[in-house]
Amino acid sequence: MKRKLRMGMVGGGLTSFIGPVHRKAAGIDGEIELVCGAFSIVPGESKATGDALYLNPNRVYETYQEMFEAEKKLPADQRIDFVSVVTPNHVHFGPSKMALESGFHVVVEKPISFNLDEAKELQQLVSKTGLLLGLTHTYTGYPLVKEARKMVADGKFGKIRKVFVEYPQGWLSTLLEGTGNLQASWRTDPKQSGMGGAIGDIGTHAANLAEYITGLKITEVCAMLNTVVPGRLLDDDSSMLIKFDNGASGVLMATQVAAGEENNLNIRIYGEKGGLEWKQEEPNSMILKWLDRPKEIIRTGMGYISQDAKNFTRTPAGHPEGYLEAFANIYRAFTKAVRDYKPGVKLNTKDYDFPGVDDGVHGMSFVQTVVESSKSNQKWTKLD
């Protein structure tokens, strides 16, 4: 396939935060071209977005249903190859389902769906069609996160024993949704966000990062959810003990009321021989800690970094790579899989190193279990 992949988009209109992020990330490697979209349910905004992006007016649609019906009728050399779904949570399932049923691959924002039942239905549909579904758990895209995963897998730290992962933000320290802020309004609305507030929005990122680096799965949680800001409808603060499938234990904290914090996702992992520490706000450095020798600091782009990390590194050492590049790495891996796709042949997303439908189902199971645990007097709650 000696051409750019053709991408459609659902959501991501002029007032969107995450839509432009996806468009920039998808374009970084020059492998993807945005050709159509249904960008908003607000009358006129989809057309205005298409105009701003210089798209063919005939391929700017008012609804995603209209888009998929029209696109699948186009000749094979014109129709989209995949769709990027960048809507609020409650509109992830419908477009993803219809895209797969229409024969198109899917990239969808995290979380994969509004609830666990929807996630499992998408999992079944992916299995049935053999099509690809990528999930944008962004932080797995950083080169040093991939380096950390490789070091753990190679046994550099021995058997993993302890994990501390936290994601403090401060932007919801006040009732921001009461001021008309669009991002705050939908993220704190259970009808749009789902059963989890902070735990669904950023807690799932923390859990996914811990599982991605360690290669382990969270099996049980002992959780507490808080709603700190008066008048808020969903949790804005969470803390929990976690157990992993190898017997390791951990602590996970995710809060959006830590005043003064930005996006301070950070993780510490300890094994028998040593451990590591990585912070998202300073993503190009990682601290290694050893039982029998001094600490080390390793840096992105250096010659000693593994090939796993080099495959997702774009710039020379000392030139920071950040959020957009991490996002782009998910698109890069997804693009390789789409190019390798052949009807009737199922590809394993793990071979391409991007989050897939199974990660989405596990993430929704995590949110549901945390909510159940928080409501229960029982100490531990097992994941479905």
- pLDDT beyond 80 at 39: yes
Residue 201 has a pLDDT of: 96
148 exposure class (CB count in 10 Å sphere: 0-12, 13-18, 19+): buried
Token digits of residue 187: 């993220």
Residue 128 has a pLDDT of: 96
- pLDDT beyond 90 at 35: yes
Q: Where in the chain are all domains bearing CATH 3.40.50.720?
A: 5-139+328-355
What would the pLDDT profile of 295-327 be if each residue is shown by its tens digit? 999 999 999 999 999 999 999 999 988 999 999
CATH number, span 5-139+328-355: 3.40.50.720
Residue 264 CB contacts under 8 Å (≥ 6 apart), including other chains: 166, 167, 168, 169, 258, 279, 280, 281
CB 121 within 8 A of CB 190: no
May I ask the CATH class of domain 142-315+364-382?
alpha beta
Residue 2 has a pLDDT of: 87
What would the pLDDT profile of 113-124 be if each residue is shown by its tens digit? 999 999 999 999
43 exposure class (CB count in 10 Å sphere: 0-12, 13-18, 19+): exposed
How many whole angstroms separate alpha carbon 143 and alpha carbon 311?
8
What would the pLDDT profile of 343-381 be if each residue is shown by its tens digit? 988 888 889 999 999 999 999 999 999 999 999 988 899
What would the pLDDT profile of 173-214 be if each residue is shown by its tens digit? 999 999 999 999 999 999 999 999 999 999 999 999 999 999
CB 76 within 8 A of CB 68: no
What would the pLDDT profile of 132-161 be if each residue is shown by its tens digit? 999 999 999 999 999 999 999 999 999 999
Q: Where in the chain are all domains bearing CATH 3.30.360.10?
A: 142-315+364-382
How many whole angstroms separate alpha carbon 381 and alpha carbon 379?
7
Token digits of residue 367: 């949110």
How many whole angstroms separate alpha carbon 20 and alpha carbon 360?
22
